[in-house]
Amino acid sequence: MPRILHAQHDRFPLIRPFRIARGTKTAADVVTVTIGEGDLVGRGEGVPYPRYGETIEGALAAIEEVRPLIESGAGRPALIEALPPGAARNALDCALWDLEARLDGCDVAWMTGGAPLRTLASAMTVVIDTPDAMARDAAALIGAPVLKIKVDAEDPAARIRAVRSAAPRADLIVDPNESWDRALVEAMQAVLVEARVSLLEQPVPAGEDSWLEGFSSAIPICADESVHVAADLPVVARRYQAVNVKLDKTGGLTEALELAQQARACGLGLMTGCMVSSSLSIAPALHVAMLSDFVDLDGPIWLRDDRPGGVKTEGGFIHPPAASFWGTAQT
């Protein structure tokens, strides 16, 4: 039975600006893929990220290049050979997982040998602002078990202390998004301990992190931009204590699971992260989140309107999407 592939750009305005060290977003721009076979349709979403040289136009062009391959019936292994890791491959890979589950009458948890999805604690993001404003945002999230604090190199200590004061019981992840240097990482060690920070995520730029090899940090440091796929682990494991698995970096759930499994074999901690996205990006990521120490999948709560039937986040906990939303046999 012939397949039909469709890809398009969708834009989801945000409820308020999402500010990190790298810039500010006011909308989530995503590529949505559908792959139809008979009466069944698989869906996937990718978020092209400028940090990695990606654009919406480039992702759509990459998808168009492999249209003949996908429509001829090729599966996920052939896709991995045909496209490099990134948002375009992620959207296609996840659409193929979804379609396969529906065609085979099963669900992705069964296909991966994983446990059925359940409610998980997910980090809630406090974006860069003044210390007072960040404290107010943290106070509004009171009761959330995990907060992620976005900072840059401008007085991060004041921002971290403000959030800790407003959220005395939450686990804290500090994410400078590559904006620090070695001197600042070293200077911030005492502050991170004082604020009882659980994890420091990618403090320095990827490619400028070789000095982390042998560095004794007071708290674990998690690789984000420095790790994309399992092949990166031999170097990453010498510099970091954990890795952030994002499907848009790995190029889909297939490689994300491989990265997670090999990271565990290396003795590394795991975080599952996301871009600012709709629930269609989050649903497949939940299968990696089930394996992780930290979950950071709050992307959809920044949207004015998410896709119908998507995940629900309440009080810092993320609930799986409605039956049939993604990766299940139900229609």
pLDDT tens, position by position, 129-144: 999 999 999 999 989 9
Report how far residue 47's alpha carbon sits from residue 36's, in angstroms, rounded to the nearest whole number.
Answer: 21
Q: What is the pLDDT of residue 199?
A: 98
322 burial class (0-12, 13-18, 19+ CB within 10 angstroms)? Answer: middle
Residue 331 has pLDDT above 70, yes or no: no
Give the CA dihedral 27, 206, 80, 259, nearest 10 degrees: -100
Which residues in the chain are classed under CATH 3.20.20.120?
120-319
Give percent of the chain above pLDDT 70: 99
Over residues 57-75, mean pLDDT? 98
Over residues 40-59, mean pLDDT? 97
CATH code matching the domain that covers 3-106, chosen among 2.30.40.10, 3.30.2010.20, 3.40.50.1950, 3.30.390.10: 3.30.390.10
What phi and psi values does residue 101 have, to the nearest 5 degrees?
A: -60, -45
Which residues in the chain are classed under CATH 3.30.390.10?
3-106
pLDDT tens, position by position, 301-314: 999 999 999 999 99
Round the average pLDDT of the chain to a whole number and report it: 96
| pTM of this structure | 0.95
Q: What is the pLDDT of residue 54?
A: 97
Over residues 198-211, mean pLDDT? 97
Q: What is the pLDDT of residue 138?
A: 97
Q: How many CB atoms lie within 10 A of CB 39?
A: 8
Residue 14 has pLDDT above 70, yes or no: yes
Tokens of 113: 């040998």
pLDDT tens, position by position, 250-298: 999 999 999 999 999 999 999 999 999 999 999 999 999 999 999 999 9
Over residues 104-126, mean pLDDT? 96
Q: What is the pLDDT of residue 21?
A: 86
Residue 212 has pLDDT above 60, yes or no: yes
| Alpha-carbon distances of 143 from 51, 151, 162, rounded to whole Å | 33, 22, 16
Residue 153 binned pLDDT confidence (cut-offs 50, 70, 90):
very high
Report how far residue 113's alpha carbon sits from residue 290's, in angstroms, rounded to the nearest whole number.
Answer: 12
CATH code matching the domain that covers 120-319, chosen among 3.40.50.1820, 1.10.3080.10, 3.20.20.120, 3.40.50.2300: 3.20.20.120
Q: What is the pLDDT of residue 48?
A: 98
Residue 330 binned pLDDT confidence (cut-offs 50, 70, 90):
low
Which residues carry out catalysis? 150, 246
